[in-house]
Structure 1
Amino acid sequence: MFADLHIHTTSSDGASSPNEVVRMAVQANLRAVSITDHDTMEGICQAKLEAALYGIDVLDGVELSTEHDGMEIHILAYCVEPENSVLQKHLNLFRAARLSRARKIVAKLQHMGINIGYDQVLRYAGSGSVGRPHIAQALQAIGKVSSVTEAFEQYIGVGKPAYEPRLKYHPVEMVKLIRRLGGVPVLAHPGISCGEDFIRTLIDAGLQGLEVYHPKQTSEMEAYYLGLCRQHNLLGTGGSDFHGVGATGHGRLGEAKVPYTVVIQLRALAAENVK
Structure 2
Amino acid sequence: MQYVDLHTHTSASDGTQPPAENVRLAAELGLAGVAVTDHDTVAGIEEALRAGRSLGITVVPGVEISTVSGGEDIHVLGYFIDHTDEQFLERLAELRAVRARRNEMMLERLNELGVKITMDDVLASLSKTADETIGRPHIADAMMRKGYVGSLAEAFERYLGKGGAAYLNPPRIEPATAVKWIMEAGGAPVLAHPGLYDQDELIPQLAEQGLAGLEAYHSDHSPEQEDHYRTIAEGLGLIITAGSDFHGERGGVVFHAPIGSRRAQIDVVHLLSEAAGRHDSGGPSPVRGREAEQHENT
2:104 maps to 103
2:237 maps to 233
2:288 maps to none
- Identity among equivalent positions (%) equals 39
AA in 1 matched with 2:53: A
AA in 1 matched with 2:91: H
More displaced stretch, 44-53 vs 159-168: 159-168
AA in 2 matched with 1:209: G
Residues 146, 215 of structure 1: CA spacing in aligned structure 2 closer, same or farther, 3 A cutoff? same
Structure 2, gaps ≥5 residues long: 282-298
- Is the 2:19–2:44 Cα contact (8 Å) retained in structure 1? yes
More displaced stretch, 60-69 vs 177-186: 177-186
Structure 1, gaps ≥5 residues long: none
1:274 maps to 280
2:268 to 262, 267, 275: 262
Following TM superposition, by how much is the alpha carbon of 1:206 offset from its aligned partner in structure 2, in angstroms?
Answer: 1.4
CA deviations over 1:66-114 (Å, ceiling 9, x no partner): 1111221110011111111111111111112222222232233334443
Counterpart check, 1:198 vs 2:202 = yes
1:251 maps to 257
1:30-109 alignment, distance < 5 Å: 30-109=31-110
Counterpart check, 1:221 vs 2:225 = yes
Greater than 6 Å deviation, 4+ residue runs: none
Q: Tell me the TM-score normalised to structure 1 length.
A: 0.93
Residues 192, 164 of structure 1: CA spacing in aligned structure 2 closer, same or farther, 3 A cutoff? closer
More displaced stretch, 74-83 vs 194-203: 194-203
Residues 111, 230 of structure 1: CA spacing in aligned structure 2 closer, same or farther, 3 A cutoff? closer
| Distance in 2 between residues matched to 1:258 and 1:156, nearest whole Å | 31
CA deviations over 1:147-206 (Å, ceiling 9, x no partner): 122222333334444333234211122112222222111011112224432211111121
Residues 113, 195 of structure 1: CA spacing in aligned structure 2 closer, same or farther, 3 A cutoff? closer
| Distance in 2 between residues matched to 1:191 and 1:156, nearest whole Å | 19
Counterpart check, 1:163 vs 2:173 = no
- Is the 2:141–2:152 Cα contact (8 Å) retained in structure 1? yes
1:181 to 185, 199, 205: 185
| Distance in 2 between residues matched to 1:124 and 1:65, nearest whole Å | 24
| Distance in 1 between residues matched to 2:279 and 2:29, nearest whole Å | 32
Following TM superposition, by how much is the alpha carbon of 1:268 offset from its aligned partner in structure 2, in angstroms?
Answer: 0.9
- Is the 1:94–1:167 Cα contact (8 Å) retained in structure 2? no
The secondary structure found in structure 1 opposite 2:55 is coil
CA deviations over 1:205-260 (Å, ceiling 9, x no partner): 21110012111223332232222222211111111100114545511100100011
The secondary structure found in structure 1 opposite 2:5 is strand
Residues 116, 272 of structure 1: CA spacing in aligned structure 2 closer, same or farther, 3 A cutoff? same
- Is the 1:73–1:194 Cα contact (8 Å) retained in structure 2? no
- Is the 1:26–1:54 Cα contact (8 Å) retained in structure 2? yes
| Distance in 1 between residues matched to 2:172 and 2:191, nearest whole Å | 17
- Is the 2:106–2:168 Cα contact (8 Å) retained in structure 1? yes
2:135 maps to 131
| Distance in 1 between residues matched to 2:135 and 2:171, nearest whole Å | 12
AA in 2 matched with 1:53: S
2:119 maps to 118
Q: Tell me how large the CA RMSD over aligned residues is.
A: 1.8
